[in-house]
């Protein structure tokens, strides 16, 4: 054997050995067999034998989320062709029956499956995937655009800065993800604006996802007194970036000095109760809180990790830099999978669609985690889009695959592509290709169409 091919052959033999010794292919069956849904069987609604039973409907829903063409028509067409190829009776290609079947799917089933897959991935995480033996959870918020329908506008109004008839409904999503594996552990969905729609409130609704000993990392939206108090009571440490007003008032000459621009400081309970808090919760909050503030990497961090010997300043800098992974994960969910703009016309179905995207994302992360375990690499070293493309191709040829002979091949293919380590990479937030020179829509579409009938199309911008 040529020397340059020897490492690849050894790599494949190691994967094959892992598969046989650790029954790794059992994970693959989770994606293709109904046993994966056994934990939520009690949540399925009563149903009779239909063309689209709940499990089949969920499978098609996930296929939509993983497909470039996410239309219901494409999903039904694929189902109709599959039945003909397998020698089953033909079915109609009209989408009405499938859309009604999606409406019957309980939202709780989708959300429970997301949490279940997240726990399954993190429960099998080995020691190298942790930070100093501790699981790290990342939290961040983002927005999702819904179709402009009256029902969506009523539930998730468009921003006040947009004129009526010119904007789109927007909802806010706060996700909690695992740093080691990238899996979504839980998510909270709410209005983009108004009471109860801020990231703090949404995060508090999913704090029960965290366990004692976890470490939570977030940006400036989470470095508040009351959240830090709550996390301390739960036995959870936190590393947040200090918010702007506090940054301007930070004086490292105060408090107990730990090192250059590193000190312990006592925070006092704000005298004004936040609107989102009840009076009882405000009264129960401690009067003071000891935290650590430090300046590193051009940012001021606030943390409950108080000992500089156990957690050095440079260590916290490296940990907070890893927070950027949650931005990349949300980009994979929104841009790579396509959740940035939803297609469902009602709020209830839009929520289901978001949970379907999160579940599809976790299933891809599940494959990446298994491939990483078999190759002794980290999941963050593998490419999400590469795995997605492989799974789509693999699923397309599913009936022709002899799984007994190729049960490790998918993991080999996933592990062949690794992402580069590019710390400190900076890219301009600008595009080189210009869009078509059309002017912005500054009036309701019905009025714009009437103006075109009367005066013709406006001239293109130069």
Is residue 165's pLDDT more than 50?
Answer: yes
Model pLDDT, residue 245? 61
* HEC sequence for 104-141: HCCHHHHHHHHHHHHHHHHHCCCHHHCECCECEEEEEE
In this structure, the answer to whether residues 92 and 149 fall within a common structural domain is no
Which pLDDT score is estimated for 24? 31
Asked if the structure places residue 244 within a domain, the reply is yes
Query: Could you tell me if residue 352 is inside a domain?
Result: no
Res 7 pLDDT > 60? no
pLDDT digits (tens, 9 = 90+) for 193-244: 877 778 999 999 999 999 999 999 999 999 999 999 999 999 999 999 998 7
Residue 51 is predicted with a pLDDT of 78
Domain that residue 57 falls in: 11-106+359-415
Residues 157 and 294 occupy one common structural domain: yes
Let me know if residue 138 belongs to a domain.
yes
Cα 334 from Cα 326, distance rounded (Å): 12
The yes-or-no verdict on residue 257 having pLDDT over 90 is: yes
Could you read off the pLDDT of 18-69 as tens digits, one per residue?
A: 434 333 333 334 444 444 555 566 666 666 667 788 878 888 898 888 888 8
How do 184-191 and 237-241 pair as beta strands? Answer: unpaired
**Looking at the domain assignment, is residue 17 inside a domain?**
yes
Q: Encode pLDDT of 436-448 as tens digits.
A: 777 888 888 888 8
Residue 15: pLDDT band with limits 50, 70, 90: very low
Residue 187 lies in a domain: yes
99 lies in the same domain as 118: no
The reported pTM is 0.87
φ and ψ at residue 102, rounded to 5 degrees: -65, -40
Same domain, 87 and 201: no
146 — pLDDT class (breaks 50, 70, 90) = very high
Is residue 302 within 8 Å of 320, Cβ to Cβ? Answer: no
Q: For 321-358, write each residue's pLDDT tens digit.
A: 999 999 999 999 999 999 999 999 999 999 999 999 99
pLDDT score of 2: 47
pLDDT at residue 6 greater than cutoff 60? no
User: Are 298 and 370 contained in the same domain?
Assistant: no
For residues 71-75, average pLDDT: 91
Instruction: Tell me what pLDDT residue 23 has.
Output: 33
Degrees, nearest 5: CA angle 221-224-225: 175
SS3 249: helix
Taking alpha carbons only, the member of 202, 214, 201, 292 closest to residue 255 is 292
Does residue 146 share a domain with residue 82?
no
Does 86 share its domain with 45? yes
User: Could you tell me what percent of the chain has a pLDDT over 90?
Assistant: 47
Residues 160 and 50 in one domain: no
Mean pLDDT of 62-90: 87
Supply 101's token pair.
Answer: 């079947």
Query: Does residue 161 lie in a domain region?
Result: yes
Provide the number of structural domains found in the chain: 2
Confidence (pLDDT) at 341: 93
In a domain, 349, yes or no: no
Which of 309, 330, 351 is the last residue in one of the domains?
330
Asked whether residue 11 carries a pLDDT value surpassing 90, the answer given is: no
pLDDT (tens digit, 9 = 90+) per residue, 394-440? 877 765 555 555 667 888 899 988 887 776 677 777 888 877 777 88
Is there a domain that residue 424 lies in? no
The enclosing domain of 301 has a CATH number of 3.90.350.10
Regarding whether 282 and 140 lie in a shared domain, the answer is: yes
Q: Is the pLDDT of residue 389 over 50?
A: yes
Task: Please tell me whether residue 404 adopts helix, strand or coil conformation.
Answer: coil
Looking at the structure, do residues 159 and 185 belong to the same domain, yes or no?
A: yes
- CB contact at 8 A, 352 and 339: no
Q: Are residues 137 and 208 in the same domain?
A: yes
Q: Which tops the pLDDT comparison, 125 or 177?
A: 177
Residue 17 has pLDDT above 80, yes or no: no
Query: For helices 25-32 and 347-375, what crossing angle results, to 10°?
Result: 160
Mean pLDDT, rounded, for 248-268: 90
Residues 122-138, mean pLDDT to the nearest whole number:
90
Same domain, 79 and 116: no
């Amino acid at each position: 054997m040529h020397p340059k091919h020897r490492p690849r052959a050894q790599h494949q033999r190691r994967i094959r050995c892992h598969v046989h010794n650790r029954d790794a292919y059992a994970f693959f069956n989770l994606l293709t067999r109904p046993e994966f849904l056994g934990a939520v069987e009690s949540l399925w609604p009563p149903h009779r034998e239909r063309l689209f039973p709940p499990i089949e409907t969920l499978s098609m829903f996930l296929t939509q989320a993983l497909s470039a063409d996410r239309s219901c028509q494409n999903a039904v067409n694929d189902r109709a062709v599959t039945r003909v190829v397998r020698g089953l009776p033909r079915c109609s290609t009209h989408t009405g029956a499938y859309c009604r079947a999606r409406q019957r799917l309980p939202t709780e089933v989708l959300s429970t499956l997301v949490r279940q897959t997240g726990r399954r991935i993190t429960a099998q995480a080995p020691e190298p995937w942790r930070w100093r033996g501790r699981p790290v959870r990342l939290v961040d918020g983002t927005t999702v655009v819904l179709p402009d329908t009256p029902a969506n506008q009523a539930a998730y109004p468009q921003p006040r800065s947009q004129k009526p008839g010119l904007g789109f409904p927007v909802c806010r999503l706060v996700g909690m993800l695992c740093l080691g594996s990238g899996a979504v552990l839980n998510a909270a969905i709410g209005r983009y604006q108004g009471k109860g729609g801020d990231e703090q409130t949404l995060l508090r609704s999913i704090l029960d996802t965290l366990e004692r000993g976890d470490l939570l990392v977030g940006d400036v939206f989470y470095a508040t007194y009351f959240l830090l108090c709550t996390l301390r009571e739960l036995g959870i440490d936190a590393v947040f970036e200090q918010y702007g007003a506090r940054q301007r008032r930070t004086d490292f000459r105060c408090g107990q000095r730990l090192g250059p621009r590193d000190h312990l400081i006592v925070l006092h309970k704000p005298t004004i109760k936040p609107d989102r808090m009840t009076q009882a919760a405000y009264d129960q909050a401690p009067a003071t809180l000891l935290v650590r503030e430090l300046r590193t990497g051009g940012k001021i961090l606030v943390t409950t990790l108080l000992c500089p010997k156990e957690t050095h300043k440079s260590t916290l800098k490296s940990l907070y830099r890893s927070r950027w992974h949650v931005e990349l994960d949300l980009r994979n969910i929104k841009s790579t999978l396509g959740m940035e703009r939803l297609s469902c016309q009602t709020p209830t179905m839009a929520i289901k669609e978001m949970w379907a995207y999160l579940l599809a994302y976790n299933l891809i992360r599940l494959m990446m985690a298994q491939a990483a375990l078999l190759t002794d690499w980290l999941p963050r070293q593998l490419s999400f889009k590469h795995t997605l493309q492989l799974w789509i191709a693999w699923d397309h040829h599913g009936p022709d695959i002899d799984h007994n002979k190729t049960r490790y091949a998918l993991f080999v293919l996933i592990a062949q592509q690794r992402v580069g380590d590019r710390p400190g990479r900076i890219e301009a937030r600008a595009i080189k290709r210009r869009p078509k020179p059309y002017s912005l829509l500054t009036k309701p579409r019905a009025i714009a169409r009437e103006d075109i009938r009367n005066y013709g199309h406006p001239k293109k911008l130069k």
